[in-house]
Amino acid sequence: MAQSGEKPTTALVCTLTTPELQERRMGVIKHLRESAAEVRELDAGWSFRYSNQQIDKLVEFIQLERKCCSFLEFALRFEANAGPVWLSISGPTGAKSIIAAELRPTKTEARPKSK
């Protein structure tokens, strides 16, 4: 049991069945991985930059992930003047590699930072 002020330990377990996970990978996760314009490493996770056109997919992704991976934390940041949207995902020790495996683009998929 967690002491006052401490977060309880959460298991790094996805609760989706194999067919559900495969279907999601083929859909929203693949789309977001391929459309990330920039990726930044965080201490406990990753941050991904997307265009404003991706907002609906980002919300869909967060809703799906909250159902199956309760150990993850999500933040959406909208830059001023209709700038890009940043999705930051973090979690407890061990979650960073899980996030990278699912969403971080491969070198051939990575997009250069645009100014």
Q: What does the domain layout of the chain look like in residue ranges?
A: 18-103
User: How far, in whole angstroms, is CA 17 from its chain's centroid?
Assistant: 19
Whether residue 6 has pLDDT greater than 60:
no
105: three-class secondary structure by DSSP: coil
**Percentage helix, strand, coil, to 5, in the chain?**
40, 20, 45
Element (H, E) at 114: none
Categorize the per-residue pLDDT at 113 as very low, low, confident or very high, splitting at 50, 70 and 90.
Answer: very low
Element (H, E) at 55: helix 55-68
Residue with tokens 């991976």: 69
Residue 47 backbone phi and psi in degrees, to 5: -125, 135
- Per-residue pLDDT tens over the stretch 81-105: 999 999 999 999 989 998 888 888 7
